[in-house]
Structure 1
Amino acid sequence: MSRHDFQIPVTFKHRVVFTRDAFAPENPELAAILREGGGRRALGLVEKPVAAAWPELEAEITRYFAGLDVELAAVHLLPGGESIKADDSWVRESWALIDAARLDRHSYLLAIGGGAFLDAVGFAAATAHRGVRLLRFPTTTLSQDDSGAGVKCAINAFGKKNWIGAFAVPFAVINDFRFLHSQPEETRRAGLVEAVKVALVKDRGFFDWIEADLTALAALEPAALEACVERSAMLHARHIAEGGDPFETGSSRPLDFGHWAAHKLESLTSYKLPHDRAVAVGLALDTLYSVRSGLAHESLIGRVFPILHGLRLTTYHPALDWRDEGNRRMVLEGLDEFREHLGGELTVLMLQGIGQGVDVHRIDPAIVGGCIDELRGLWQAAQDKHYDLNPVA
């Protein structure tokens, strides 16, 4: 008997581009990426609401590829929103379209849509032929400033978010800013929560900038929104590329501050509570927990909550108070699911200060309960002060 251990070094290039009008004939970004890859065939999958907002998009894509030496097999429209990843039906449909287009591992799959759409189509791309080249075109604030720059894809199963999935580095991420400004206002605004999150855990200077530019961000002024999205996306991408654990083989997930509760709230509400709104609630809860558990100074609350409420983000949801037959808050089940999803010891990132995250391995349910009670009061006070805050879903 014998044992042989081999090291298999693998290097990926993570291309993240910020541009405008990516399919304009004079825009060289996509053409350069396609030339770099050397593939000769492509397929486009577009989220239906995006196509509805941009009726000329399919024709633009077709014209763009007409000037290249890459054959565009077709452009198809698929549903959007969380429902596309509710089960594997649309992944299977995507596989069928990939097969019909005769894509191979050197071919390109263009996925144009929001985060849930990119998750489902990305999983199809990662598993077809063990991986075709995915070109992500995120179209929402949330997908441009966070998930689109990541290296994960997944669908939901067993009542749990992202239970079936993979790590797969996209061939390129192309953030086209024109898509940002065609979203509904509430979606455009809600996605900013991930920028607040990454600033809190990674970059005090970015948090200070958000705080100083809050009026422009709250008004969704294009220059401020685009600058915030790009800075947030780069922090996410840089952590993945330089943080030492791009595929999460350890037990720490520093970019998931506020997400243990957020993911559970989504599943408890049958995904009627969208991810960005759930993250705002989870971020608010974990900010309070960081203070009430003694990790952070009270002043943290006075800086974080004015930003969340200034951006008109919801910071409480009734599902936080839903209880099981044993009178235990059901949201606490999210801690077990969070640990199972990553494996190893429970590891939840909390805050010691702005830009200072710390891993904790035990969460006190009593403190969580007190924080939820406090959160309810803070949210009510914010509603009384700001009558135009987004309502609880």
Structure 2
Amino acid sequence: MSVLLSPERVEIQLGERSYPILIGNGLLGEPRHFDAAPAAASALIVSNTTVAPLYARALRDTLAGRFQAVHMLELPDGEAHKDWQTLNLIFDALLRHGCDRKTVLFALGGGVVGDMVGFAAASYMRGVPFVQVPTTLLAQVDSSVGGKTAINHPLGKNMIGAFYQPRLVMCDLATLSTLPARELSAGLAEIIKYGPIYDMAFFDWIEANIDALMARDPAALAHAVRRSCEIKAAVVGQDERETGLRAILNFGHTFGHAIESGLGYGEWLHGEAVGCGMVLAARLSQRLGGVDEAFVQRLSALVERAGLPVVAPALGLERYLELMRIDKKSEAGEIRFVVIDQPGSAAMRSAPDTMVREVLAQGCAS
């Protein structure tokens, strides 16, 4: 992929916490693209054992002229390590290197790394700046944007965390060239979700370009990342702390988080669970009168074309309900779902347990 001299820029408008998202090819090797990063004496690059060997040295070399000291930390890779024990490795490194309140953390990796580094930044000395450098498609279009940070608990996904915004998000599309095919598909799930909840014209475009996206066509990926970030920026700008509108970004996630928790973190990738969860959520939307069977089939077909599962694992209907009641959107034990009230528009709704059981019975493996 060629280097883009002028990366595309999307702004997250949050007053004094506003920040840019830069999208382009070859950004990691260009120091000028990090001008929006805060100045400090030291920086800590946090990555994992998969991504660090590919990109950590290049990022360190790029940052060397901005910081007197650039430290690096490799975490174990995978959703199974998104926990207190791994989070403490970040604090250990910060304290060992004598990092102060101006030290800048750089999250180099996918959503797990980004979520944990953001939570560490929110907590260390009550808050230090951090920069997101997402290297997976899912992180570039979703988890790196908007300031949600967290770790998992054995009883629920992302249940311990904080809203804490980065100072800069750097989406280098060149990093997607080393992304495994399964991870690419996982990222497509989060791209697909933006259509039913917000922009059906974008959904039409994804349908027409899904083969190009699967083939990693640079122009198709650039458009998908930019439009996804534009939509998320618009939503987050109106509802930073998810008191209303922002909840629509969790389309498919209530079912998806139950799948991840029920199987054990890491068995299915987050995007795989979300893709399947969107199909279940669409079926629930149909039963609630928001969409018709044709829409459900259309969404299911696109999810499947993206290489994602459309049949949920057989965890047991009551187990699903138990797991979904732990979801952050639940209120007083009542499960609340993001459903499509009409294509391109979503809302939060509750549904009778009997209806949810029917959806699960239809959508789960026998």
Q: What TM-score does the superposition give when structure 1 sets the normalisation length? A: 0.83
Encode CA deviations 1:81-100: one digit per residue, 9 max, x unaligned.
11221x31111110111122
Contact 1:103 1:132 in 2 (8 A): no
Separation in structure 1 between the aligned mates of residue 32 and residue 328 of structure 2, nearest angstrom: 44
Question: Which SS does the other structure have where 1:44 is aligned?
Answer: strand
Q: Which residue of 2 aligns with 1:229?
A: 225
Question: Which SS does the other structure have where 1:295 is aligned?
Answer: coil
Question: Which SS does the other structure have where 1:73 is aligned?
Answer: strand
Separation in structure 2 between the aligned mates of residue 213 and residue 251 of structure 1, nearest angstrom: 28
Contact 2:114 2:149 in 1 (8 A): yes
Contact 1:62 1:72 in 2 (8 A): no
- State which of 162, 172, 175 in structure 1 corresponds to 2:168: 172
Aligned counterparts, 1:101-250, within 5 A: 101-241=97-237, 243=238, 245-250=239-244
> Does the alignment pair 1:257 with 2:251?
yes
> Does the alignment pair 1:82 with 2:79?
yes
What are structure 2's unaligned runs of at least 5 residues?
Answer: 1-13
- State which of 17, 24, 29 in structure 2 corresponds to 1:19: 24
Kindly name which structure, 1 or 2, has the bigger radius of gyration based on alpha carbons.
1
Question: Which SS does the other structure have where 2:224 is aligned?
Answer: helix
Contact 1:105 1:131 in 2 (8 A): yes
Q: Which residue of 1 aligns with 2:263?
A: 269
Offset of residue 228 of structure 1:
1.1
Q: Which residue of 2 aligns with 1:33?
A: 36
Instruction: Tell me how large the CA RMSD over aligned residues is.
Output: 2.4
Offset of residue 251 of structure 1:
8.9
Offset of residue 128 of structure 1:
0.3
Offset of residue 201 of structure 1:
0.2
Aligned counterparts, 1:330-341, within 5 A: 330-339=319-328
Separation in structure 1 between the aligned mates of residue 211 and residue 92 of structure 2, nearest angstrom: 47
Offset of residue 273 of structure 1:
1.8
Encode CA deviations 1:320-368: one digit per residue, 9 max, x unaligned.
xx33xxxx531112432125667797542211222111321x2123322
Separation in structure 2 between the aligned mates of residue 201 and residue 285 of structure 1, nearest angstrom: 15
Q: Which residue of 1 aligns with 2:60?
A: 62
Contact 2:325 2:333 in 1 (8 A): no
Equivalent AA in structure 2 for residue 255 of structure 1? L
Residues 1:73 and 1:254: Cα distance change in structure 2 (over 3 Å) = same
Offset of residue 143 of structure 1:
0.7
Separation in structure 2 between the aligned mates of residue 226 and residue 304 of structure 1, nearest angstrom: 22
Question: Which SS does the other structure have where 1:49 is aligned?
Answer: coil
Residues 1:98 and 1:225: Cα distance change in structure 2 (over 3 Å) = same
Separation in structure 2 between the aligned mates of residue 329 and residue 16 of structure 1, nearest angstrom: 42
Residues 1:20 and 1:63: Cα distance change in structure 2 (over 3 Å) = same
Separation in structure 1 between the aligned mates of residue 255 and residue 97 of structure 2, nearest angstrom: 40
Separation in structure 2 between the aligned mates of residue 352 and residue 201 of structure 1, nearest angstrom: 9
Q: Which residue of 2 aligns with 1:369?
A: 357
Q: Which residue of 2 aligns with 1:304?
A: 299
Contact 2:235 2:246 in 1 (8 A): no
Q: Which residue of 2 aligns with 1:387?
A: none
Contact 1:111 1:121 in 2 (8 A): yes
Contact 2:63 2:70 in 1 (8 A): no
Residues 1:267 and 1:302: Cα distance change in structure 2 (over 3 Å) = closer
Residues 1:357 and 1:81: Cα distance change in structure 2 (over 3 Å) = same
Contact 2:194 2:228 in 1 (8 A): yes
Separation in structure 2 between the aligned mates of residue 76 and residue 344 of structure 1, nearest angstrom: 40
Q: Percent same amino acid at aligned positions?
A: 30
Equivalent AA in structure 1 for residue 106 of structure 2? L
Question: Which SS does the other structure have where 1:348 is aligned?
Answer: strand
Q: Which residue of 1 aligns with 2:88?
A: 92
> Does the alignment pair 1:357 with 2:355?
no
Question: Which SS does the other structure have where 1:132 is aligned?
Answer: coil
Question: Which SS does the other structure have where 2:121 is aligned?
Answer: helix
Q: How many residues align?
A: 352
Question: Which SS does the other structure have where 1:299 is aligned?
Answer: helix
